[in-house]
Structure 1
Amino acid sequence: MIKLTQRALGTKLKIGDAASAVPIGFLTSISSPSMSQETIDVTTLDSDGEYREFIGGFKDGGEVSASGFFNPDDPGQAAVYDALENSTTEDFTIEFPAEMGAKWIFKGVVTAYQTSAELEDAISFEITIKVSGKPVLEITPTP
């Protein structure tokens, strides 16, 4: 039976290769890669009906953003901060709840890390990851 909806509870963003991936803790929001494709104008003087014509160009993996509650003791938050400081390209995985059988796998560069303290809120943090190369949506059949 196909489940049409699924709660986000249990979704994780991890940093590091499969053998040593560390979950980034205390998250409340994770976006997926925001992929896009450029177009190349191939309009000619013979184009039908005076309409422009296009073909696909380079694709861009876009960005992934995540936010949550700041915890300086969390190993995942520390790893993301270190990746920003060291300007390294890292492996990332967004794992949806197991019953969905889906996850995003991609390489990325951390381009932003921000904390925020508001009067009547918990201290929060936000990160932005620029996807490097092709993100892969891996789907595993579920029983």
Structure 2
Amino acid sequence: MAGLDAFGTQLQRGDGATPTETFTAIANVTDITPPGLERETLDVTSHGSPDAWREFIGGLKDGGEVEIEINYDPREHDGLIADFEDKDPRNYKVVWPDNLGSWAFKAVMKGFEAEAPHDDKLAASCTFKVSGKPEITTGA
């Protein structure tokens, strides 16, 4: 197989309810960049490292950031500003199409930027900083 169609991927936003949280897709998302997982590397090279090659071990992990682009509609999207105002992380999910699974994570919205060009559509981009370990669920 050469690849999978990304059409239908969603970024869903949790409502924070307990004990059962409900997730709703953010409307009119045109592009999603899921969490970019990273790990620090710690240099443990010593004078005794074999053949004078640097040696490394893994350090702390970072869930990176999530970015979305949307066809901006203030009536549908201005509620996201509450996420920007909230300092506490909220639950989100990237849900892959065709039951391929999901990536659930807590994140703080760190950026919301709308644009209204004279010759194009209203658009906005949102950036979320992942807090903690994403939960990756593999689908069928």
* TM-score of the pair, normalised by structure 2: 0.90
What stretches of structure 2 of length at least 5 have no aligned partner? none
Equivalent positions of 1:1-143 (< 5 A) are 4-16=2-14, 19-74=21-76, 77-99=77-99, 101-140=100-139, 142=140
Q: Matched residues, percent identical? A: 32
Alpha carbons of 1:78 and 1:117: their partners in 2 closer, same or farther (altered >3 Å)? Answer: closer
Amino acid at match of 2:8: G
Offset, 1:79: 3.8
Over the aligned positions, Cα root-mean-square deviation in angstroms equals 1.5
Amino acid at match of 1:41: D
- 8 A contact 1:87–1:109 mirrored in 2: yes
Structure 1 moving runs of 4+ over 3 Å:
none
* TM-score of the pair, normalised by structure 1: 0.88
Offset, 1:93: 0.2
Offset, 1:19: 3.0
User: 1:71 and 1:40 mapped to 2: Cα distance?
Assistant: 45
User: 2:105 and 2:94 mapped to 1: Cα distance?
Assistant: 9
Amino acid at match of 2:134: P
User: For each residue in 1:60-88, what CA deviation from the matched residue of structure 2 results, as whole angstroms up to 9, or x when unmatched?
Assistant: 100000001111222xx344211101223
What stretches of structure 1 of length at least 5 have no aligned partner? none
